């Protein structure tokens, strides 16, 4: 006998509120997770609909009190069924409770949505309002709130109530006063908060070139003949992948279906989003991580109601409740941000392919530097590989020079800028062309250490270095702990203690010293903290308000600057030295993307790669723009050491505020793994990369296996064990399949 957990209202905040029912044997084949069923409910056995969210062999409640499921709702293509099935997929393949999985895929209706939104606007003409303001200003003791409101309304047509009262701190009484006097009006509106964007009219009409045309035709032909596949478009930077996506999107939308476009958050810029708006108008909606849960909910409602056909957004846009989904596009498929950092730690690529399989949708992955995972599957024929070899408008790829920093050092140049790079910079500045200087994010220093003994000042609650901030404050970026900057080394008493300046900041100083009068913009975590920080800096650079843009990897994503003819990569190997099997791949991707920023316009571009390892294959193949060559070396290395995609890894993390308990529990789990699958390779337990975080100790175990499902079985066995275990209930365990970052 089987038993089913049934959820009745999935828009309810408490998704774990389920009811147990018996699965009658004649329905056993049809009842699976996600299926909609009719059940007798309550005293009167009212027939109502619910969804199956779990199945098990042992009942949790008294069997004599359980009722049987009445029937399965036939052909229920309800979007809810799909989403629940998706949640079951996440739970099974990535490890989480059903509740966590459901919360990941289904946006929760919060009370705030039911409340109407209030807006303030002028009830009088602009002239009248100006007169009111002038009058107000003549009074000596006028209410500053009224002044602020009037000034604001002279600028914008409508002002959001919350914005006015909270951000602008205009007292409610001031607004009400002006309302009474008939100067402003307050309206309650039920609006779907679509992030508003003004579409500019200078739409470019683009005709696909031959390569693009062939790519789009191939996919469209497959769609028309009902062959739904996964495609990998490998196209060099600037090859016009987005135009291919849009062509296929249009085709799918004409068929009455919907499209999800995933873009990494960092590339979700005005420029990219505008291209979709310009082409598809208000059939497009956007999600971003800055949205409140209410705003996200609204966007999902619009998708459900058929008001929009295209959702553009990061990872989580994958769960947009489109009823008739025809296409999922994952741009920059190799981006690590497609892997969730919270439980369930799903990967958008696999999840997208699963979601597409539920409705027979097509998946297009695109990248200039495909992940090893995707490319190996394209090579094996599991995905269809489509290659765009040349740039859309025939521009040459930037030429590339490698500068050996060891030789530079020997010749006495200790600056961050090599002589060759300086020479080229001078040339470009003279020609009024622009330059981008790229410093790997991991190069950001800012931590405080002792130059006498090497001691690094760490957070007392976390096993990480403290960072120096302005005003002589040291701060932990993980828990927020702050302390006054130390004057002497707590370890050896030396006074030679100090911080290494953030790399980008130091670089900016050097550039300014070397080229007096040069206009520099810097883009890093410090300069982009404001809501539109990125946009402002990038638009300023696009408008040629600066000659040099200095930045971390943020600057290499998806931006076209036609006037940039020189890209300098300051220290290519920083990312090579990470203790992670992805480091070669990451370096290749970053370098390729950085090089791709040069020469997007008519002028030819040059990229200079400064490195201490000029012979490293990731450096050499990116300089040669040779993805294939890189892939062959990298996949050989992965095969040799049995790393993904040539095998699979399961990371298990055990955490506890009592160090001893974390250690013991991790040992217990490792022993359990050995017992239930003696063949599996076990590494650890050992301390996590950050062994202590916010006073919680963390241990990790890594398992390696050829088949993914073997790891899933181990995960299930651990889950079952944890459910019944009486000891160490103060510990927390979670799973990470094929982790992207070191745990």
The distance of closest approach from Cβ of residue 235 to ligand ADP in the complex, given in angstroms and rounded to an integer, is 5
Cα angle vertex 324, ends 371, 47, to 5°? 120
The partner in contact with residue 392, picked from ligand ADP, Zn ion, none with C-beta cut-offs of 5 to 8 angstroms by kind, is: ligand ADP
Instruction: Identify the residue among 392, 607, 618, 740 touching ligand ADP (CB under 6 A).
Output: 392
Instruction: Identify the residue among 81, 85, 174, 242 touching ligand ADP (CB under 6 A).
Output: 242
Tokens matching residue 713: 């079985």
User: Site map for ligand ADP, 180-219, x if CB under 6 A?
Assistant: --------------------------xxxx--x-------
The distance of closest approach from Cβ of residue 414 to Zn ion in the complex, given in angstroms and rounded to an integer, is 24
Cα angle vertex 436, ends 434, 441, to 5°? 165
Euclidean distance between CA atoms 148 and 605, whole angstroms: 49
Cα angle vertex 481, ends 477, 485, to 5°? 95
Output the DSSP codes for 714-738: HHHHHHHHHHH--S-TT-EEEEEES
Nearer to Zn ion, 117 or 455 (CB): 455
The distance of closest approach from Cβ of residue 562 to ligand ADP in the complex, given in angstroms and rounded to an integer, is 9
Contact at 8 Å (CB) between 741 and 668?
A: no
Cα separations (Å) of 245 from 145, 215, 388? Answer: 49, 10, 13
| Residues 6+ away with beta carbon under 8 Å from 467 | 446, 447, 448, 474, 475, 476, 477, 499
The distance of closest approach from Cβ of residue 309 to ligand ADP in the complex, given in angstroms and rounded to an integer, is 20
Tokens matching residue 563: 């006037």
Instruction: Identify the residue among 235, 443, 503, 551 touching ligand ADP (CB under 6 A).
Output: 235
Euclidean distance between CA atoms 471 and 483, whole angstroms: 11
Contact at 8 Å (CB) between 38 and 73?
A: yes
Interface residue list for Zn ion (CB under 5 A): 450, 452-453, 455, 459, 461-462, 476, 478-479, 481, 489, 491-492, 494
Nearer to Zn ion, 437 or 464 (CB): 464
The partner in contact with residue 60, picked from ligand ADP, Zn ion, none with C-beta cut-offs of 5 to 8 angstroms by kind, is: none
The partner in contact with residue 238, picked from ligand ADP, Zn ion, none with C-beta cut-offs of 5 to 8 angstroms by kind, is: ligand ADP
Please tell me the total number of residues recorded for the chain in this structure. Answer: 743
Residue 319 DSSP symbol = G
Nearer to Zn ion, 169 or 494 (CB): 494
Nearer to ligand ADP, 241 or 664 (CB): 241
Nearer to ligand ADP, 241 or 315 (CB): 241
Instruction: Identify the residue among 18, 104, 237, 622 touching ligand ADP (CB under 6 A).
Output: 237
> 3-state SS of the chain: helix, strand, coil percent to 5?
40, 25, 40
Q: Binding to ligand ADP (CB under 6 A): which residues in 531-590?
A: 560
Euclidean distance between CA atoms 344 and 351, whole angstroms: 11
The distance of closest approach from Cβ of residue 33 to ligand ADP in the complex, given in angstroms and rounded to an integer, is 37
**DSSP 3-state of 631:** helix
The reply to whether 241 sits near ligand ADP by the rule CB under 6 A is yes
Nearer to ligand ADP, 146 or 600 (CB): 600
Euclidean distance between CA atoms 144 and 171, whole angstroms: 9
Phi and psi of 566, rounded to 5°?
-140, 130
Nearer to ligand ADP, 237 or 587 (CB): 237
The partner in contact with residue 452, picked from ligand ADP, Zn ion, none with C-beta cut-offs of 5 to 8 angstroms by kind, is: Zn ion
The distance of closest approach from Cβ of residue 434 to ligand ADP in the complex, given in angstroms and rounded to an integer, is 17
The partner in contact with residue 137, picked from Zn ion, ligand ADP, none with C-beta cut-offs of 5 to 8 angstroms by kind, is: none
Phi and psi of 316, rounded to 5°?
-70, -15
What residues make contact with ligand ADP under the rule CB under 6 A? 206-209, 212, 235, 237-243, 392-393, 560
């Amino acid at each position: 006998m089987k038993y089913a957990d049934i959820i009745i209202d999935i828009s309810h905040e408490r998704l774990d509120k389920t009811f147990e029912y018996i699965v009658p044997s004649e329905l056993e084949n049809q009842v699976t997770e996600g299926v909609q069923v009719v059940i007798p409910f309550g005293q009167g056995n009212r027939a109502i609909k619910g969804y199956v969210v779990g199945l098990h062999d042992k009942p949790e409640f008294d069997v004599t009190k359980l009722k049987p499921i009445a029937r399965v709702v036939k052909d229920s293509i309800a979007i809810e069924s799909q989403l629940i099935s998706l949640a079951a997929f996440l739970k099974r393949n990535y490890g989480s409770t059903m509740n966590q999985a459901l919360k990941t895929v289904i946006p929760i209706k919060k009370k705030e949505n039911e409340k109407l939104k209030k807006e303030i606007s002028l009830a009088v003409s602009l002239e009248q309002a100006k007169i009111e303001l002038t009058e107000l200003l003549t009074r000596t003791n006028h209410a500053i709130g009224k002044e602020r409101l009037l000034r604001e309304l002279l600028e914008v047509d409508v002002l959001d109530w919350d914005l006015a009262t909270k951000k602008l701190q205009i007292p409610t009484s001031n607004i009400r006063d002006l309302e009474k006097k008939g100067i402003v009006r307050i309206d309650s509106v039920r609006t779907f908060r679509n992030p508003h964007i003004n579409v500019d009219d200078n739409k470019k009409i683009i005709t696909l070139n031959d390569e693009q045309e062939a790519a789009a035709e191939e996919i469209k032909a497959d769609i028309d003949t009902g062959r739904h596949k996964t495609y990998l478009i490998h196209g060099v930077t600037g090859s016009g992948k987005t135009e291919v996506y849009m062509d296929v999107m249009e085709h799918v939308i004409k068929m009455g279906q919907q499209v999800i476009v995933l873009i990494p958050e960092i590339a979700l810029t005005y420029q990219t989003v505008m291209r979709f708006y310009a082409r598809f108008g208000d059939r497009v909606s956007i999600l971003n991580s800055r949205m409140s849960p209410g705003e996200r909910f609204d966007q999902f409602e619009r998708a459900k109601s058929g008001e929009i056909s295209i959702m553009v957004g990061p990872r989580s846009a994958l769960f947009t409740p489109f009823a008739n989904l025809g296409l999922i596009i994952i741009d920059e498929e190799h981006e690590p941000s497609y892997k969730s950092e919270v439980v369930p730690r799903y990967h958008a690529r696999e999840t997208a392919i699963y979601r597409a399989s539920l409705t027979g949708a097509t998946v297009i992955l695109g990248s200039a530097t495909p992940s090893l995972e995707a490319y190996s599957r394209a090579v094996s024929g599991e995905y269809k590989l489509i290659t765009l070899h040349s740039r859309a408008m025939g521009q040459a790829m930037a030429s590339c020079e490698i500068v050996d920093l060891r030789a530079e050092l020997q010749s006495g140049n200790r600056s961050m800028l090599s002589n060759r790079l300086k020479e080229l910079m001078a040339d470009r500045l003279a020609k009024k062309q622009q330059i981008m200087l790229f410093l790997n994010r991991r190069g950001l220093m800012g931590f405080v250490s002792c130059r006498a003994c090497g001691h690094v000042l760490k957070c007392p609650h976390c096993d990480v270095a403290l960072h120096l901030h302005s005003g002589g404050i040291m701060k932990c970026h993980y828990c927020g702990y702050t302390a006054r900057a130390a004057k002497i080394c707590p370890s050896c008493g030396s006074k030679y203690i100090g911080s290494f300046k953030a790399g980008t900041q130091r670089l900016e100083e050097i550039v300014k010293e070397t080229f007096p009068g040069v206009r520099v913009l810097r883009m890093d975590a410090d300069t982009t903290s404001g809501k539109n920080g990125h946009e402002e800096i990038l638009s300023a650079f696009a408008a040629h308000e600066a000659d040099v843009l200095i930045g971390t990897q943020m600057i290499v994503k998806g931006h076209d600057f036609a006037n940039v003819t020189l890209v300098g990569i300051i220290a290519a190997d920083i990312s090579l030295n990470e203790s992670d099997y992805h480091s070669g791949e990451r370096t290749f991707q970053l370098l390729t993307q950085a090089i791709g920023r040069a020469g997007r316009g008519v002028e030819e571009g040059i990229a200079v790669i400064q490195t201490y390892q000029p012979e490293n294959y990731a450096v050499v193949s990116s300089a040669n723009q040779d993805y294939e060559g890189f892939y062959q070396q990298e996949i050989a290395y992965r095969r040799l050491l049995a790393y993904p995609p040539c095998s699979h890894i399961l990371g298990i993390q055990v955490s506890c505020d009592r160090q001893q308990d974390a250690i013991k529990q991790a040992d217990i789990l490792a022993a359990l793994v050995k017992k239930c699958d003696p063949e599996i390779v076990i590494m650890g337990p050992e301390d996590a990369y950050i062994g202590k975080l916010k006073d919680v100790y963390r241990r990790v175990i890594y398992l390696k296996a050829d088949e993914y499902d073997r790891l899933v079985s181990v995960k299930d066995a651990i889950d079952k064990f944890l459910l019944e275990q009486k000891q160490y209930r103060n510990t927390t365990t979670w799973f990470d399949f094929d982790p992207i970052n070191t745990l």
